[in-house]
Structure 1
Amino acid sequence: MTSKALFAHSALLADGWHEGVLLQWDDAGNLTSVQASEAPQGVPQARFVMPGMVNLHSHAFQRALSGMTEQAGDSPDSFWTWRDLMYRFARRITPEQMSAIAAQLYSECLRHGYTSVCEFHYVHRAPDGNLYARAAETALHVADAARYTGIGMTMLPVLYSYSGFGEAPLKPEQGRFRSSVDDILRIIGELDAQRGPQLEVGLAPHSLRAASVQQIREALAGLPVQRPVHIHIAEQQGEVKQSLDFSARRPVQYLYDHVEVDQRWCLVHATHLSEDEISAIARSGAVAGLCPTTEANLGDGIFPLEPFLAQGGVFGVGSDSHVSQSPVEELRWLEYGQRLSQQRRNIAVSPKQRKVGDFLWQAALRGGAQASGRPVGELAPGKRADLLVLDEQHPNLHGLAPADVLSTLVFSGNDNLVRDVMVGGRWVVRDREHVAQPAIAARFRQTLAELRELRS
């Protein structure tokens, strides 16, 4: 029997829990066999095994801001006031510091059950406003952090040219984000040399505020086919108003009027939608990239989940600004936001799946995998060997039937129930600790000490 094998007494497959499943993978980290079996002699065993979650939206450097923006100003605070501190960090952070922060973040994400991340990366330039000798310098440092921690990555270089609708010029504090279509295609070209089983490269027009539709079309024309495309859209009411003032169209309407949006797209946030926009996203097959903890932290609003699901809409979750690094918390608050706004319970379900935890986890797996453009999100041959082993000895899971595991995982307390994590056939978390955690934490502490002076 190959050593690249694990026997699961209960494994979460695409159609639900199965008893007695042998998983095998090859040297490249791809699953080669997932089949019913008796427990083979000499093969490691685990009680509950499930696919790792995809974090479909991340700004890694913002992990260093956690807890530092929770103080009220003299006027009502919003997303727009939160940006001020973020800009101060972004103006001075170095590529090495980005790497240290990203490694800490990714180790935390892995320990909580994310095995892939889509990195929406927009700090491209040096503090003096010039591109580095390698245009992809900062992105390569962040990709190095992913490689070091073991998390799978979809790197999304961000096209960011303007400060608002109508091609308003960038503000001085946005100078490090500045990129043209040529810049972004050059960065993508440099990153393409790193593509492989653990890294995909796509494109992210930052938003309709920061990239014109003409630029988006040009960038898409230069992007290799079938690469993922992500964009922030309709996150705040202020953005909707600006779009209406500029184009007489709401943001999603304006995008769909000018660009062909299909299944390779991920519309991040999409919080404020009309009924027609909900239908348009669902029909196109694009993924709604939902980040409930960040959307709550910034006071964005609540996504219209129920009507979106009723029309077959696809969604996934991400940690965005990283006030949380737990997929459980994102999924829990996705459901709780709906319950609070509608004053009823058990909303995220389908006619075929009435268990909320099961529906949320499985649906987010499918949407996250689609948004990542990578073969992940499922324990099946040909997919990456990305899996979680839950702690069956934890009181919440001890003696539990598989049918109740996902609802317990999502809705039962704040303990992390993930014990071990494998990505691409490699164990990266054992007994709740990342294999390189001491070195990662030391670098992160040093980086925080260097950056915290930027609050003043």
Structure 2
Amino acid sequence: MEALKRLHAPLAWVDGRWQRDVLLSVDAAGHWSEVTANMPAPPGAEVLAGPLIPSLVNAHSHAFQRAFVGLAERRDAGQDDFWSWRDRMYALALRISPQQLRAVASQLYAELLRGGYTQVCEFHYLHHPADLAHGGQAFDDELDMAWALTEAAQDAGIGLTLLPVVYTRSGFGATGLRPDQHRFEADADWVWRACQRIMAAGLPRVNAGVALHSLRGASAADMLRLHQQLGAAEVPIHIHVAEQTAEVADCVQATGKRPIQWLAEEGYLDARWQLVHATHAEPAEIEAVARSGAGIVICPGTEANLGDGLTDLPRWLSHGVPLTVGSDSQVTRGWVEELRWLEYGQRLALRQRNVAAAPGVQPSSAARLFDAAVSGGARAAGFAAWGLTPGARADALVLNREADGLRGLPDEALLDAVVFGGNGSPWQSVWVAGRARPWRAPERVGDAFEAAMRELWQSGS
């Protein structure tokens, strides 16, 4: 395709290192058609005002939970953990409407753009009307909640990988869902149909995959049916796994195996699979995932907020397992903080520094984690390529050399400072499909979000 636009970056992060005088051409589809270093700016090229780096994919998001941020940070009595948080979160899940979901997601997706993400993988399980279990009417279209998310992505200008979720039971051994989970019910046939419809809609910057909530939320029969439906289809497959020790114990009791062990030994895992959290993984399980080609999605901000624990990052890295990050419950909404806490959690646990670094290969912890997230994010979102490379969508971030933490630094230290030295947003601009996107959402988006929040929480519950 002939280039419609040319950008020139005096400095850009290409192929895992800083390179100078990088010329980037954008084709009519909004993808990079050329990325060439050591090339003076030709006439007519737009010269960028700061260093250029890839944006990241947010590989795990529950958009509706943006409306719950800040509302579960008190403990009045008893113990507070993931399970008590979940029960409180259901108060939101049980009543948010498609219109409110669009308002909340539009605000979130605008914030994610400011956080340096330009594609979001939406792990979507709010399928049905809030009052359907109490005699309410079904949606005119069973995908009304999903379409609300696609509309929000269009509002914000972010890319979206929509992942409808198989969810059929409340736990190991259960025959169905709890009353407060009725909105989630979807079997493998429903989810595959939804995936196909979303793909067929042909919406700009929207694609789809599938997901299973977890081994406790989807049975072996669900897993088999989805596997049969998908066949060899090249779509991403996501699943929550081994996030909580109680989940691991329940899985062992029910199946005789740990969750990741069960997935691996049943032969399901391949390069399409993304294991979300994978917090409590044994060395043998990590080795099995590495052999399968599957990837993992770590959500440090949410995992810290919920008290999940820390995964064995050094072992995942040493085995070359593809990994990336996600915002999950939305308590953090930028990848800088996710990568910072991915490393800092390990430093606190191991009482070491630069845990993610690979001396002799990549001595920068920030660079190793960033490059892993660029590559792993592509697969999580269902793309063959991501970053500043031909064929990838023309998404990128222009750094502001005058931002807190970046001013006065030598070029080679910039990425380290972005992750570990900054305070606030270090971007000058965010680009999606070859276009610079507005810094802030239109005022109508914020107004709609505030109105939705009043409607959802006016009772004070």
- TM-score under structure 1 length normalisation: 0.96
> What residue is the counterpart of 2:41 in the other structure?
39
Taking only aligned residues, the RMSD between alpha carbons, in angstroms, comes to: 1.7
> What residue is the counterpart of 1:225 in the other structure?
233
Q: In structure 2, the residue corresponding to 1:335 is in which secondary structure?
A: helix
> What residue is the counterpart of 1:278 in the other structure?
286
Bigger mean CA offset, 131-140 vs 65-74: 131-140
Q: Which of 289, 298, 304 is the aligned partner of 2:297?
A: 289
Q: Is the 8 A contact 2:4 2:28 kept in 1?
A: no
Q: Does 1:209 align with 2:210?
A: no
Q: Which of 78, 97, 111 is the aligned partner of 1:75?
A: 78
Q: In structure 2, the residue corresponding to 1:253 is in which secondary structure?
A: helix
> What residue is the counterpart of 1:403 in the other structure?
412
* Structure 2 Cα separation of the partners of residues 78 and 19 of structure 1: 49
> What residue is the counterpart of 2:383 in the other structure?
374
Structure 1 residues 237 and 168 mapped into 2: Cα distance closer, same or farther (>3 Å)? farther
* Structure 2 Cα separation of the partners of residues 208 and 454 of structure 1: 35
Alpha-carbon shift at residue 168 of structure 1 (Å): 3.9
> What residue is the counterpart of 2:5 in the other structure?
4
Q: Which one-letter code corresponds to 1:419 in the other structure?
A: Q
Q: In structure 1, the residue corresponding to 2:77 is in which secondary structure?
A: coil
Q: In structure 1, the residue corresponding to 2:458 is in which secondary structure?
A: helix
Q: Is the 8 A contact 1:160 1:177 kept in 2?
A: yes
Q: Is the 8 A contact 2:161 2:206 kept in 1?
A: yes
Alpha-carbon shift at residue 295 of structure 1 (Å): 0.2
Q: Is the 8 A contact 2:212 2:218 kept in 1?
A: yes
Deviations 1:11-51 (A, max 9, x none): 11123111001111122111111113112234222220011
Alpha-carbon shift at residue 313 of structure 1 (Å): 1.7
Alpha-carbon shift at residue 329 of structure 1 (Å): 0.4
* Structure 2 Cα separation of the partners of residues 357 and 448 of structure 1: 36
Deviations 1:293-327 (A, max 9, x none): 00000000001001121111221000000001010
Q: Does 1:343 align with 2:343?
A: no
5 Å-filtered alignment, 1:370-449, equals: 370-429=379-438, 433-434=439-440, 436-449=441-454
Q: Does 1:64 align with 2:67?
A: yes
> What residue is the counterpart of 1:249 in the other structure?
257
Q: In structure 2, the residue corresponding to 1:6 is in which secondary structure?
A: strand
Consecutive unaligned residues of structure 1, counting only runs of 5 or more, are none
> What residue is the counterpart of 2:270 in the other structure?
262
* Structure 1 Cα separation of the partners of residues 394 and 448 of structure 2: 29
* Structure 1 Cα separation of the partners of residues 30 and 326 of structure 2: 24
Q: Which of 80, 96, 99 is the aligned partner of 1:96?
A: 99
Q: In structure 2, the residue corresponding to 1:92 is in which secondary structure?
A: coil
Identical aligned residues as a percent: 43
> What residue is the counterpart of 1:125 in the other structure?
128
Deviations 1:91-124 (A, max 9, x none): 1100111111111111111011001110000000
> What residue is the counterpart of 1:314 in the other structure?
322
> What residue is the counterpart of 2:31 in the other structure?
30
Q: Is the 8 A contact 1:115 1:152 kept in 2?
A: yes
> What residue is the counterpart of 1:362 in the other structure?
371
Q: Is the 8 A contact 1:88 1:455 kept in 2?
A: no
* Structure 1 Cα separation of the partners of residues 28 and 40 of structure 2: 24
Q: Which one-letter code corresponds to 2:425 in the other structure?
A: N
Q: Which of 150, 169, 174 is the aligned partner of 1:167?
A: 174
Q: In structure 2, the residue corresponding to 1:4 is in which secondary structure?
A: strand
> What residue is the counterpart of 1:323 in the other structure?
331
Alpha-carbon shift at residue 375 of structure 1 (Å): 4.2
Q: In structure 2, the residue corresponding to 1:378 is in which secondary structure?
A: coil
Q: In structure 2, the residue corresponding to 1:153 is in which secondary structure?
A: strand
Q: How many residues align?
A: 452
Q: In structure 2, the residue corresponding to 1:263 is in which secondary structure?
A: coil
Structure 1 residues 454 and 241 mapped into 2: Cα distance closer, same or farther (>3 Å)? farther
Q: Which one-letter code corresponds to 2:121 in the other structure?
A: C
* Structure 2 Cα separation of the partners of residues 261 and 231 of structure 1: 11
Structure 1 residues 397 and 245 mapped into 2: Cα distance closer, same or farther (>3 Å)? same
Q: Is the 8 A contact 2:4 2:26 kept in 1?
A: no
* Structure 1 Cα separation of the partners of residues 384 and 460 of structure 2: 41
Bigger mean CA offset, 370-379 vs 45-54: 370-379
Deviations 1:46-76 (A, max 9, x none): 2200111110000000001110000114211
Q: In structure 2, the residue corresponding to 1:268 is in which secondary structure?
A: strand
* Structure 1 Cα separation of the partners of residues 341 and 119 of structure 2: 21
> What residue is the counterpart of 2:155 in the other structure?
148
Structure 1 residues 343 and 3 mapped into 2: Cα distance closer, same or farther (>3 Å)? same
Alpha-carbon shift at residue 220 of structure 1 (Å): 2.5
Structure 1 residues 302 and 372 mapped into 2: Cα distance closer, same or farther (>3 Å)? same
* Structure 1 Cα separation of the partners of residues 148 and 249 of structure 2: 37
- TM-score under structure 2 length normalisation: 0.95
